[in-house]
Amino acid sequence: MSVLVVGSTALDSIKTPKAENPRLLGGSASHAAVAASFFAPVKMVGIVGKDFPKRYITLYKKHGIDLEGLQIADGKTFHWAGEYEVNMNNRRTLSTELGVFETFTPHLPESYKQAPYVLLANIAPALQHHVLDQVKQPKFVMADTMDLWLNIALPDLLRLIKRVDAFVLNDSEARQLTDDDNVLRALKKIHKLGPKYVIIKKGEHGSILSGPSGLFIAPAFPLERVCDPTGAGDSFVGGLLGFLASQKGSVEKNLRRAIIHGAAAASFCCEGFGLNQTTRASRKAITDRVRALEKMVAF
Ligand code: AMP
């Protein structure tokens, strides 16, 4: 079954203590779509400007991503620049230039509207709503977000949280949203806002799922060297939803395994700049890391 992904399609300029890389392929939708593509057909919604390098379009195509919903408009592609501190956990946004996203209205092609799995990757909640308004009876809708939207679009985000099956955010965003430092209380408070499933991401320390059958504590895949964690969260949700879409049976039955597949997909993202290593992964390579993780947590 296919996965519809909406989010940012961007050029990222990334600075780490070791290197600096300008205008890499980035954006939440790009990372999520490529990670999902290892498991299921992906339909991507987004917008880029005329400056968007052709080789990046070729790369989406190489992963079989359906681009009918990708608009190419006059103007500049969304550009994000960020810098990591020595420990690679703390990141500072240096600049965000919205470019063509400033006037973007997502229009879903007819062939996208029946997609059973919908991933509202990080983008303005108003745009996430707009996509959700156009899909017909999806089986499962998952939304991701970032601190910016908690700061500048909270009412839209709260309305969105009510409309989705699963809501994903990182631990600092969960603290900000609930005004609570305790992760278990924060999960309860987020459930009260609507979603059946809540996943809190904790970076290199993994994630926690809360749902009808209780909690699931998921590890991250341990890496000796992290090159650039940009897009790890997006790869996590993309891999997760792609895996779910590839499985028979209920979401409830498959969600835990899906989270581990998301974690394995995200580990490839961290090993290279931008999408450099994710694009070199494969379903088999991801599955091998899932097996390795299984051994590491069995007791
Ligand atoms: P992550 O590391 O998972 O938080 O995601 C990083 C990605 O988010 C980068 O590729 C950026 O292009 C993208 N991004 C940064 N700021 C925004 C924003 N305001 N809206 C949408 N995407 C963004």
73 C-alpha to center of ligand 1: Å? 20
Residue with CA at minimum distance from ligand 1 atom 22: 8
Burial 66-91 (b: 16+ CB within 10 A, else e): bbebbbebebbbbbbbbebeeebeee
Ligand 1 atom, smallest distance to 31 CA: 10
* Token pair belonging to 136: 């017909």
β-sheet with 91-97: strand ranges across: 20-26, 10-15, 78-84, 91-97
* Cβ of residue 234 lying under 6 Å from some atom of ligand 1: yes
Residue with CA at minimum distance from ligand 1 atom 14: 27
* Token pair belonging to 292: 């390795």
* Cβ of residue 123 lying under 6 Å from some atom of ligand 1: yes
Residue with CA at minimum distance from ligand 1 atom 18: 123
pTM comes to: 0.97
Burial 5-35 (b: 16+ CB within 10 A, else e): bbbbbbbbbbbbeeeebebbbbbbbbbbbbb
Q: How far is Cα 262 from Cα 38, in angstroms, rounded to an integer?
A: 11
Tens place of pLDDT per residue across the chain (299 aa): 999 999 999 999 999 998 999 999 999 999 999 999 999 999 999 999 999 999 999 999 999 999 999 999 999 999 999 999 988 888 999 999 999 999 999 999 999 999 999 999 999 999 999 999 999 999 999 999 999 999 999 999 999 999 999 999 999 999 999 999 999 999 999 999 999 999 999 999 999 999 999 999 999 999 999 999 999 999 999 999 999 999 999 999 999 999 999 999 999 999 999 999 999 999 999 999 999 999 999 99
Cβ burial, residue 162 (10 Å; 0-12/13-18/19+)? exposed
